[in-house]
A and B are shown apart, each in its own frame.
Chain A
């Protein structure tokens, strides 16, 4: 028998809500799919990158524009106020380089980066 009430717990915590594997048939599914955020739910999107953003830390004025504009939340603020890019997930869209007011982020072709 399909448990049509199973999805009523989707608004519970990550541990309490049913996992997608627990739904045995379509009758049990919620009306729409809802997920809780998790790091890299679609995989290591850094593989998609053609150009890598490289921050020139010396010229950086630590304004935080790159951190604010990054659509994927891959830029994080360090304890000293500087910014680091998580290259496992950065897709290389270039928005940070475009928005950087001091032009301190350069987009470098991945093949040009010295291994």
Chain B
């Protein structure tokens, strides 16, 4: 990961010091979305508030903003708008996402390129509104793509890249762009809002009145979709096609990331993962979202102490970068995985840790996986903690010793002590 220097921003006229949520709203504006349907929920609220300001102020001419009565209706309206052949955007998180859940499946099943920002928050009960990726991860098997952002700039960039991938005729799938609630959503950082012409040249053209190739809305020529298919019909084939499209989207994500770098000059690894300081690394830490940003600093400092550590940021959870993880597993001896999200009842760590273990299973000579859990429900994660996590990997590599206080195979860092 190349650290962005402050001077890069100062020299750029388009730089604004804005909150993560405003960056997401600006991305939707830059992408010229045509229909926005939304229902507010903390910490996503300011995304849709900003968008309603843009629409009301005439900054997004031709964009329809639909206020709905619930998240379920929001996704239903977004599906309808997308089906009619428009570029659509919405944002939600946590319980709101769960209220949408039925429609989430419909959006993927009808293969609509809807981009949804998820300002991830903890799942209730107990009530929690702070950074935790459990919400978006619980939509793992819905057929949506999902990605995590680590910086304010990445939120803006990832939403633009998402439209490029989703609207590809070989993909035609919806996508979640997730970032940590409050940590990114409500803090301000410099973000380059790109020139409209440049964005237009990068993104595909807006769909014409004919809509997408596989579905259209024409009152003169009504159609039926979501039809009942008997077990002897093509049901499993259609589901398999969705699964294959999701896997084949990997190449499209890589291409979009490459093209994005060419046009805008900002690099995000190969799109699926992004390595940081991995030269001659013996152990590596894999993490995602905002945890990855601070982990870079931790890696730098631990390296200065003479340990050969590196870091990999997971950018996409679905499709999961299995090949990249196997390559990584062959490169290092110990691979730590820090999850900010729980896979209840799993004995192989958090959700991403499970995926990593699955990817490396059956592959000979790959790294041992060290599952960790940190920052659940927005708990503050200090730099010292992350440095300590890296040193635990080094110790595990050298002595084969895991910490004594592992809980069911997972190292829960930063738990409160009862005095």
Contact = CB atoms under 8 A, between A and B. Distances in A.
Interface residues of A, number: 18
B228 A30 contact: no
B209 to A, nearest CB: 12
Interface in B223-252: 223-225, 227-229, 234, 237-238, 240-242, 245
Tell me whether chain B's interface is mostly helix, strand or loop, or mixed.
Answer: loop
A29 B242 CA distance: 11
Interface stretch (B2-10, B210-218, B307-315, B358-366): B210-218
Contact of A31 (B214, B221, B228, B229): B214
A30 B172 CA distance: 12
B241 A31 contact: yes
B222 interface: yes
16 contacts: A23-B234, A29-B234, A29-B237, A29-B241, A30-B214, A32-B225, A33-B225, A33-B227, A33-B234, A34-B215, A35-B227, A36-B224, A37-B222, A37-B223, A41-B224, A42-B228
Contacts of A60: none
B111 interface: yes
Contacts of B224: 34-37, 41
Most buried by B among A7, A31, A36, A42: A31
Contacts of B237: 26, 29
Interface pairs A-B: 7 shortest CB-CB: A26-B237, A31-B111, A31-B214, A35-B224, A34-B223, A33-B227, A34-B225
Nearest to A26: B237
B218 to A, nearest CB: 9
* Interface-centre pick from A10, A11, A32, A42 (highest chain B CB count, 10 A): A32
A26 B240 contact: yes
A17 B10 CA distance: 57
Interface in A11-56: 11, 20, 23, 26, 29-37, 41-42
Interface in A46-79: none
Nearest to B216: A11
Contacts of B227: 33, 35
B190 interface: no
B113 to A, nearest CB: 11
A8 interface: yes
Contacts of B210: 11
A67 B237 CA distance: 38
Contact of B223 (A8, A20, A36, A42): A36
Contacts of B242: 31
B110 interface: yes
Contacts of A7: 214
B109 interface: yes
Given A11-B210, A33-B227, A34-B223, 7 more contacts: A11-B216, A29-B238, A30-B214, A31-B214, A32-B110, A32-B214, A36-B223
